[in-house]
Amino acid sequence: MNLSDANGLEDVPLFDPNLVREVNFKECSGTYNPEISPESPGEGLLMRPLKISDYDRGFMELLKQLTVVGDVSREQFEARFNSMLGCKNGYYTVVIEDTTCGQVIGAATLAVEQKFIHECSSKGRIEDVVVDNKYRGKQLGKLLLDFLTLLSRHVGCYKVSLECKDQVVKFYTNFGYVKEEGQNYMCRRF
């Protein structure tokens, strides 16, 4: 039995699940045809916060469709999840589960950084947006992005940003994201 299992923590959500319906999705940027929403993402699909048990529903395999993940043991996963959970209102990883097969088929994260500037406001960053290649083209990437963008405002961010490769710039411009004049993204890798 896993440690989290023994403690009954397997199904603790990373963030308040009520946020999935509290965000006013009518204000989203995308148009949906057929109509879907965070509360009704499609037949057999469920949008909800990440849980520890998603380790066994293919969450880490899904992330491998995005970038290098490496070998992450369940213990490592649990420790990272609990550390994120401890940063109250800091991490919002939302997943889409195909309940017919019990697999996580889409995921994205909003990380919220607390600031002193802008009257002690917060800045959001959207990270690790991925939809399983068998489920692409069904508006789910759009749904994840729209939801997290609206959520960032709902939880008090004064702005939200993201980094992406050239080939997905067009995807993000659909949601009001722009390359800001005179602003540069700089990075040093280790």
Q: Mask of contacts with ligand COA, 1-40, x by CB under 6 A? A: ----------------------------------------
Which of the ranges 39-47, 80-88, 136-144, 181-189 carries the binding residues for ligand COA, by CB under 6 A?
136-144
Contact 31, 174 (CB under 8 A): no
Residue 84, interface with ligand COA (CB under 6 A)? no
Q: How many residues sit in the footprint of ligand COA (CB under 6 A)?
A: 18
Q: Which residue's CB is nearer to ligand COA, number 94 or number 130?
A: 130
* Residue 170 lies near ligand COA (rule: CB under 6 A): yes
Verify binding: residue 126, ligand COA, rule CB under 6 A.
no
Question: What is the DSSP track for 55-103?
Answer: GGGTHHHHHTTTS------HHHHHHHHHHHHHSTTTEEEEEEEETTTTE
Region for residue 165 given its phi and psi (left: phi exceeds 0; alpha: psi -120 to 50; beta: otherwise): beta
